[in-house]
Amino acid sequence: MSRLTSGLVVLVGAFLLSRSALSQTVDFQPLSAQAIRVNEAMEHLGAPLSAEDQKALLNAAHGTDATKGIAEIQRVLDKYCLLFVNINPESRVKLERGPAEAELVEQGWRTFLIKVTNDAGVTAKFNITSPNALPLPGATPGQVAQRWMEILPYTDQPMSVRLSGLGVEYRVVSLFSRDRGKREAKIACNVGQGTQDLGFRNDADVLFTIKPAIDQKLEVRDENAKPTEAAFIIKDAAGRIYPPPAKRLAPDLAFHPQVYRADGESVTLPAGHYQVEVSRGPEYLMQSRTITVSETGNPVQHFDLKRWIDPSLTGWYSGDHHIHAAGCAHYASPTQGVLPSDMMTNVLGEDLKVGCNLTWGPCFDYQKQFFTGSIDKVSQYPYLLRYDVEVSGFGSHQSGHLVLLRLKQEIYPGGDSDKHWPTLCLNTLKWAKAQGAVIGPAHSGWGLQVKTNQLPNYVIPPYDGIGADEYIVDVTHMIPGPDGKLGPADDFMSTIDTPYVWELNMWYHTLNCGYRTRISGETDFPCIYGERVGMGRSYVKMDGKLEFDQWCEQIRNGRNYVSDGYSHLMEFHANDVAMGENGSELKLDQPGMVHLTAKVAARLNETPDEKTRSKPYDQQPYWSLERARIGDTRTVPLEVIVNGYPVARQEILADGTLRDVSFDVKIDRSSWVALRILPSSHTNPIFILVGGKPIRASRRSAEWCLKGVDQCWSQKQKFIAAAEMDDAKAAYQHAREAYQAILGECDAD
Q: What is the largest CA-CA distance in the chain?
A: 111
**The pLDDT of residue 1 is above 50:** no
Task: Tell me how far apart the alpha carbons of residues 554 and 179 are, in angstroms, rounded to a whole number.
Answer: 55
Does one domain contain both 19 and 124?
yes
Same domain for 152 and 54: yes
Please check whether residues 289 and 385 belong to one and the same domain: no
Query: What does the pLDDT average to over 455-481?
Result: 98
Q: Is the pLDDT of residue 690 over 80?
A: yes
108 vs 299: CA distance, rounded Å? 21
Q: Average of pLDDT values for 296-323? A: 95
pTM over 0.95: no
DSSP state of 749: -
**Does 287 share its domain with 431?**
no
User: What does the pLDDT average to over 602-607?
Assistant: 97
CA distance 67 to 504: 49
Residue 19 confidence (pLDDT): 36
- Helix (H) or strand (E) run with residue 440 in it: strand 438-441
Range 558-584 average pLDDT: 98
**Range 125-142 average pLDDT:** 78
pLDDT of 63 over the 60 cut: yes
For the chain, what is the domain count? Answer: 4
> Are residues 583 and 520 part of one domain?
no
Does the pLDDT at position 351 exceed 80?
Answer: yes
Q: Which of 392, 354, 356 is nearest to 371 (CA)?
A: 356
- 368 and 514 in a common domain: yes
- Mean of the pLDDT values across residues 28-55? 94
Which residue in 652, 405, 368 sits closest to 538, CA to CA?
A: 405
Instruction: Give residue 649's pLDDT band: very low, low, confident or very high (50, 70, 90).
Output: very high
For residues 640-658, give the mean pLDDT.
Answer: 98
Q: What is the pLDDT of residues 369-393, one digit of tens each?
A: 999 999 999 999 999 999 999 999 9
In a domain, 168, yes or no: yes
* Residue 491 forms part of a structural domain: yes
Residues 391 and 434 in one domain: yes
Confidence of residue 16 (pLDDT cuts 50, 70, 90): very low
Same-domain pairing of 428 and 467: yes
Above 90 in pLDDT, residue 22?
Answer: no
Residues 6+ apart with CB under 8 A from 638: 600, 649, 650, 651, 652, 661, 675, 676, 677
Q: Of the candidates 256, 282, 304, which is a domain's last residue?
A: 304
> 412-447, pLDDT tens digit by residue?
999 999 999 999 999 999 999 999 999 999 999 999
Per-residue pLDDT of 87-107, as tens digits, reads 999 899 999 999 999 999 998
Task: Provide the domain limits for residue 607.
Answer: 564-696
The predicted structure's pLDDT at residue 194: 60
pLDDT for residue 175 is more than 90? yes
Q: If pLDDT is split at 50, 70 and 90, which confidence band does 225 have? A: very high
Q: Do 244 and 176 belong together in one domain? A: no
The lowest-confidence range among 18-22, 256-260, 571-575, 702-706 is 18-22
pLDDT surpassing 50 at residue 211:
yes
Residue 7 lies in a domain: no
Tens-place pLDDT, residues 655-679: 999 999 999 999 999 999 999 999 9
Q: What is the mean predicted confidence (pLDDT) over 561-584? A: 97
Confidence at 328, pLDDT banded by 50, 70, 90: confident
Write the single-letter amino acid at 219.
E
Give how far the C-alpha of residue 350 lies from the chain's centroid of Cα atoms, to the nearest Å.
14
User: What is residue 299's predicted lDDT score, i.e. its pLDDT?
Assistant: 85
Residue 10's pLDDT band (cuts 50, 70, 90): very low
Pair (239, 263) in one structural domain: yes
Would you say residue 56 has pLDDT above 70? yes
Residue 124: inside a domain:
yes
Domain boundary residue, one of 671, 696, 721: 696
Kindly calculate the radius of gyration of the chain based on its CA atoms and give it in whole angstroms. Answer: 30
| 232 contacts: CB under 8 Å, gap ≥ 6 | 218, 258, 259, 260, 261, 267, 276, 277, 278
| Residue 143 pLDDT | 72
pLDDT of 136 strictly over 70:
no
Element (H, E) at 214: strand 213-221
- Residue-averaged pLDDT of the chain: 93
One-letter amino acid for residue 252 of the chain: D
C-alpha to C-alpha distance for 618 and 500, rounded to whole angstroms: 8
> What pLDDT, on the 0 to 100 scale, is given for residue 329?
73
Q: pLDDT band at residue 5, thresholds of 50, 70 and 90?
A: very low
Same domain as 357, residue 469: yes
Of 214, 204, 149, the closest CA to residue 182 belongs to 149
Residues 620, 443 contacting (CB under 8 angstroms): no
Q: Report the distance separating Cα 705 and Cα 473, nearest Å.
A: 9
Residue 346 contacts residue 388 (beta carbons within 8 Å): no
Whether residue 2 lies inside any domain: the answer is no
Residue 3 in any domain: the answer is: no
651 pLDDT higher than 80: yes
Instruction: Please indicate, yes or no, if residue 292 is contained in any of the structural domains.
Output: yes
Q: Are 122 and 87 in contact (CB under 8 A)?
A: yes
CATH number at residue 692: 2.60.40.10
pLDDT at residue 726 is higher than 90: yes
Q: Which residues pair with 380 in a beta bridge?
A: 383
Residue 450 lies in a domain: yes
pLDDT digits (tens, 9 = 90+) for 605-642: 999 999 999 999 999 999 999 999 999 999 999 999 99
**How many residues comprise the chain?**
749
Q: Is pLDDT of 140 > 80?
A: no
Closest CA to 526 of 364, 392, 330: 330
**Percentage, residues of the chain above pLDDT 70:** 94
For the cut 90, the answer to whether the pLDDT of residue 113 exceeds it is yes
In the prediction, which pLDDT does 135 show?
67
Q: Give me the CATH number covering residue 720.
A: 3.20.20.140
Indicate the residue among 184, 205, 226 that finishes a domain.
205
Amino acid occupying residue 229:
E
Q: Do residue 363 and residue 501 come from a single domain? A: yes
Confidence check: pLDDT of 355 > 80 = yes
Mean pLDDT across 710-737: 98
List b or e across 106-141, with b for residues whose CB sees 16 or more CB atoms inside 10 angstroms.
bbbbbbbbbbbbbbbebebebbbebebbeeeeeeee
